[in-house]
Amino acid sequence: MAPKVEQLNVEPTSLGEGPHWDDETQSLYYVDINKHTINKYVPSTKKHTKADIGKNVSIIIPVKGETDQFVITYGREIALITWDGESEKVASLKILYEVDENTENVFNDGKCDPSGRLWTGTMGVAPTDDQIPEGKGSFYSFKNGKVTKHLTEIGISNGIAIDIATNKFYYVDSYRGTLDQYDFDIKEGTITNEKPIYTLFEKFDREADLKVLDGMTIDSDGNLWVAVFNQSRVIKVNPRKPGIIEDFIQIPGKQVTSAAFGGPNLDELYVTTGRFTVKGVTPSAPEDGGLYRVTGLNVRGLPAERIIL
């Protein structure tokens, strides 16, 4: 049986991103970067709620051992918030970290490793999304009050996936056109020996359709499910077979941004999309900006990690 792709009945996002499935609450958290909102969707009740942050927000990750506590990106800062998952405003917001001397930079995608360490990176901003400057961002990790810079000259810091079984770390800088693999030392919090395992394009071309690798997730077999922005699909890449696409899922929305496994058995793939202007064109179909659930893939994901402060 072919996988089933279902558009969920929630408010469309201008730039949906950062899906995080929380096992403890059986809820999907995600953001709308352009509308500055954090979002919560509970599949069992089909209830969608959101809160306005008032600034660029690209991730929302629950805090381990706490209720209604989350870490978010806040421009080029990392913040701790209190949110009951219902209110239209957060109850509190405290800045934990600030990075990058370039005040125009903002954080983008991010994830936690099993030690509770947060990984996230920055990018430059510009008046239009197809004019984002190259090489302005950096890639960081955060733990125990310490900030570590791992990579520099990043275009758009994007997809992250971690495979503890093989000690591998996967990362996407959308402007590079490659999905890169690193050796990962979780104890030391280091990534080394960069190697591209899939290439979408050899050189970023601003005049092209702006198809780029975006957010991603990993299944229990170590396969990567990577969103391809502006190509209406999520591709499956097996790191043990570099350079090829083993499978793909066609998504009705064009601007596919990220994916996360969720559901009681972690066998449902939730996919975020966007509906914003790129190269003068704004998608307007009902499918654009939708939140999608894919079932029938016959694979399971790995639990998303909460952050440890």
Task: Say how far apart CA 282 and CA 285 lie, in whole Å.
Answer: 10
Model confidence at 102, pLDDT cuts 50, 70, 90, reads confident
Say if residue 268 is exposed, middle or buried (CB neighbours under 10 Å; 0-12, 13-18, 19+): buried
176 conformational bin, left if phi > 0, alpha if psi -120 to 50, beta if neither: alpha
Model confidence at 258, pLDDT cuts 50, 70, 90, reads very high
Give this prediction's pTM. Answer: 0.97
Q: Write the single-letter amino acid at 145.
A: G
Contact 291, 8 (CB under 8 A): yes
Q: Write the single-letter amino acid at 288.
A: D
pLDDT, tens digit, 9 for 90 and up, residues 109-163: 999 999 999 999 999 987 655 677 888 999 999 999 999 999 999 999 999 999 9
161: number of CA atoms within 13 Å, CB side? 33
Q: What percent of the chain has pLDDT over 90?
A: 88
pLDDT at 204: 72
Give me 67's structure tokens.
């209720």
Residue closest to 150 by CA, chosen among 198, 118, 103: 118
Mean pLDDT of 271-280: 92
pLDDT surpassing 90 at residue 95: yes
Show the domains of the chain with their CATH numbers: 4-295 (2.120.10.30)
Residue closest to 55 by CA, chosen among 19, 30, 85, 31: 31
pLDDT at 279: 81
pLDDT at 278: 86
Task: Say how far apart CA 270 and CA 27 lie, in whole Å.
Answer: 11
